[in-house]
Structure formats: C-alpha cells, structure tokens
C-alpha cells in the first residue's frame, strides 16, 4: 500500500490547477496517504522545497486561479546534475508516487525521471492550450476560452461603435484551439489558425468585400499561426484597404488567470481524484484524462502534443458563419 506521495504543478499555470491540487490532497489524506506539495515544479524536488499538505492547506482554493504550489519550467531538471539531485531527494524523503499537473514538457520530464528511480508517476493535463492527446479538455482551457470570449465581446462593443476592424491575437503556442473556439463563439468574421491552411489571398478578397458596408469586423489570430501574429495580419489588411480604421489587441496573459469555470473545477477534481486512485492501484507513467466523459489513463509516451485537424465540414461552417 502506497504511503507517501508528492504533487507538483509544472509549466504554465492554468485556472483549475488549484481544484486539482485540492482533489489530490483530499483523496490522499482520506486514504491515509501522506502528501508532500513540491513548490515551483521540478525545481521544488531539486531544492527539496516542499510543504506537508494538510486538509486545511487546500481550504478555499477551488475557486482561485493560478496554483498555490507555484509553478516553473525547470531547465535544471533537464541536466544530469539536476536529475540526480531530484532522484536523491525523492529517495531520501521516501516518496513512492508523484502526481504531476502540467503540459507535455512536464510529462516528458516525468518519463525521464522514471528511468532513474522506481517511482509511480501519474499526470493531470494542465495547460490552457488543450493540445494533449489523452483528454478532451486540459485543465485551464475552458476558463481560458470563456475569458477570451468575454474579452472579444467587449472589443466588439467598441469596434461596433467606431466601425473598426480589430485583429485579436490569442494564446495557444503552436495550437489554434483557443482561437478556433473563441472565433466561433464571438462571431468573428475571420480566423487564422495553424491547423487550417490560410489562404491570404482569400482573406484579402474578404477584406475588400468588407468595404461595401460600414461595420465592425473581428479577426482572431492564433499566436502560433504562420501569418506571424496580429500586427503582421493588421499590416496585411492595411496594405489592401489603407483607409480601414484598425486596432490590434494582443490578449496575452490575461488568458491564464481568473476564477475557473464550473466545468473546469469539476473536470480538475475528477482527474485529481482518479490520479490518487490510480497510484493506489499501482498505475504509473500515465496521463489521467477524460474522453467522452469517461476517465481514461493514457501512457505518457502517447500524450505528445497534437494538432487537431479540422474536418472539411468545420472549415466550411467557420467560413459560412463568418461571411
Ligand atoms: O502553454 C501555455 C501558454 O500560455 C501558451 O499559450 C503560451 O504560448 C505560453 O504558455 C506563454 O508562456 P510564458 O508564460 O512563459 O510567457
């Protein structure tokens, strides 16, 4: 029977991480498992910085964005010396299992760690980008798309009042899922994402059409799109119609903050609970995800980043609704 485990959050923070931490802590303590909360991701293991988590450690955090354990991307963990220090510290503290909340880089780190020490590791997908195989929704994504939709709604108000064109850049690293969903939800007139081949000539044609009626227009651009970001897209539009009144908004890190949505809190709680249950069953090196409302464990090695390919119907729908 597993007696002591650790937990950490790694990579970019995401709303809902706290709900997941809470679920892990409460499930572990309920089952008489001691829990060490490592601070600042893998750096916490290397530096032996942890908090012994109590029931109260996670009181009143389910509704808070960010992560109470803090987070970091740890270049040190990728060095032989950092890895060895982490292994030594884990061995000394008698930790038999770990729950890692993070993105694909965090899970690659977990796979590496498990080559050096016999430890059970399970992961919960925490990233606003929703770009992992093994779960329909990563922790943070639902809140982020609601934040972005709310922001674009606000931009629409001012755009409409001035008959302006707004080019809005959203996060997602090399994935365009935040852009895709929020463009549909906010009724954007155009969308540029890495998953779709962007025919700039076609966009130019659409832009010329926009001259016929005075109105607001919203163009959503994924930060990872080949067009090179909102400012470049705005320059392109301006080169076609120089007299457009245009503004660019890069939403930035506001997308990573805020109180998690109801769905976020529920999903994060479910995967956190099942991460501890999985460790108790002896599972290791897997991501705990939710696919079609079922809890599914997927080997870390298969949770590589994915680019959702859009089916032709979806592409067509986006074009029609934005026309
Ligand atoms: O992976 C989450 C994410 O917010 C991406 O969407 C974005 O590209 C990146 O992290 C930003 O990272 P940082 O917080 O290091 O600037």
- Render each residue's pLDDT in the chain as its tens digit; 323 residues: 999 999 999 999 999 999 999 999 999 999 999 999 999 999 999 999 999 999 999 999 999 999 999 999 999 999 999 999 999 999 999 999 999 999 999 999 999 999 999 999 999 999 999 999 999 999 999 999 999 999 999 999 999 999 999 999 999 999 999 999 999 999 999 999 998 877 788 899 999 999 888 899 999 999 999 999 999 999 999 999 999 999 999 999 999 999 999 999 999 999 999 999 999 999 999 999 999 999 999 999 988 766 666 677 777 888 789 88
- The CB of 126 under 6 Å from ligand 1? The reply is no
pLDDT at 308: 64
Distance 91 CA to ligand 1 centre (A): 32
Helix (H, G, I), strand (E, B) or coil at 295: strand
- Residue 217 CB neighbours (<10 A): 23
The pLDDT of residue 153 is 98
CATH 3.40.50.450 intervals, the chain: 4-140+260-302
| pTM score | 0.96
Given a contact cutoff of 8 angstroms between Cβ atoms, the answer to whether 172 and 141 are in contact is: no
Predicted confidence at residue 306, as pLDDT, reads 66
For atom 13 of ligand 1, the residue with the nearest CA is: 12
Which residue is closest in CA terms to ligand 1's atom 10?
12
Give yes or no for a contact between 45 and 89, defined as CB atoms under 8 angstroms apart.
Answer: yes
Query: Does the beta carbon of 171 lie inside 6 Å of ligand 1?
Result: yes
What is the chain's percent helix, strand, coil content, to nearest 5? 45, 20, 35
CATH class of 143-256: alpha beta
Mutate-to-test residue for ligand 1 from 138, 170, 171, 174, highest number of ligand atoms within 8 A of CB: 171
- Give the position, in ligand 1's atom list, of the atom nearest the Cα of 173: 8
Query: In this structure, are strands 286-291 and 246-250 parallel, antiparallel, or unpaired?
Result: unpaired
Crossing angle of helices 177-186 and 141-162, rounded to 10°: 50
The reply to whether 129 belongs to the active site is: yes
Domain 4-140+260-302 has CATH 3.40.50.620: no
At 164 the pLDDT is 97
Listed in sequence order, the residues at least 6 apart from 272 whose beta carbon sits closer than 8 Å to its beta carbon are 19, 20, 21, 22, 23, 24, 27, 99, 124
Residue 67 alpha carbon to ligand 1 centre in Å: 15
Instruction: Give the pLDDT score at 307.
Output: 60
Report whether residue 7 contacts ligand 1, using a CB cutoff of 6 Å. Answer: no
Q: Residue 264 is encoded by which pair of tokens?
A: 């976020």
Strand partners, 169: 221, 250
Q: Which of 43, 104, 129, 142 is flagged as catalytic?
A: 129
User: HSE-up of 296 (CA within 13 Å, CB side)?
Assistant: 16
What is the pLDDT, as a whole number, of residue 208?
93
Q: What is the dihedral of CA 250, 252, 255, 258, to 10 degrees?
A: -120
User: What six digits make up the tokens of 14?
Assistant: 């995401």
Residues of the chain with CATH 3.40.50.460: 143-256
C-beta atoms surrounding 316 within 10 Å: 11
Question: How many A from CA of 12 to the centre of ligand 1?
Answer: 6
Distance 95 CA to ligand 1 centre (A): 30
Nearest to 223 by CA among 304, 285, 168, 143: 168
């Amino acid at each position: 029977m597993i007696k002591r485990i650790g937990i950490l959050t790694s990579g970019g923070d995401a709303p809902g991480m706290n709900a997941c931490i809470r679920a892990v802590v409460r499930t572990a303590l309920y089952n008489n498992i001691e829990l060490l909360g490592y601070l600042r991701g893998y750096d916490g293991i290397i530096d032996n910085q942890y908090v012994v988590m109590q029931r109260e450690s996670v009181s009143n955090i389910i509704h808070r964005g960010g992560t109470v354990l803090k987070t970091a991307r740890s270049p040190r963990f990728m060095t032989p010396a950092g890895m060895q220090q982490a292994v030594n510290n884990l061995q000394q503290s008698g930790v038999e299992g770990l729950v890692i909340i993070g993105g694909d880089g965090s899970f690659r780190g977990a796979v590496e760690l498990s080559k050096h020490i016999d430890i059970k590791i399970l992961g919960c997908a925490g990233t606003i980008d929703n770009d992992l195989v093994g779960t329909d929704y990563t922790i943070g994504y639902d809140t982020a798309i609601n934040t972005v939709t709310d922001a674009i709604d606000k931009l629409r108000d001012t755009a409409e009042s001035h008959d302006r064109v707004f080019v809005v850049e959203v996060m997602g690293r090399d994935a365009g899922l935040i852009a895709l969903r929020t463009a549909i939800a906010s009724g954007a007139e155009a969308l540029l994402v890495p998953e779709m081949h962007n025919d700039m000539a076609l966009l130019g044609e659409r832009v010329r059409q926009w001259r016929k009626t005075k109105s607001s227009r919203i163009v959503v651009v994924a930060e990872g799109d080949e067009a090179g970001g909102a400012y470049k897209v705005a320059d392109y539009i301006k080169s076609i119609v120089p007299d457009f009144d245009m503004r660019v908004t890069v939403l930035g890190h506001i997308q990573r903050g805020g109180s998690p949505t109801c769905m976020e809190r529920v999903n994060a709680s479910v995967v956190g609970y099942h991460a501890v249950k999985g460790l108790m069953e002896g599972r290791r090196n897997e991501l705990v995800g939710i696919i079609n409302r079922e809890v599914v464990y997927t080997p870390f090695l298969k949770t590589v980043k994915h680019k959702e390919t859009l089916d032709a119907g979806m592409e067509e729908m986006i074009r029609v609704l934005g026309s």
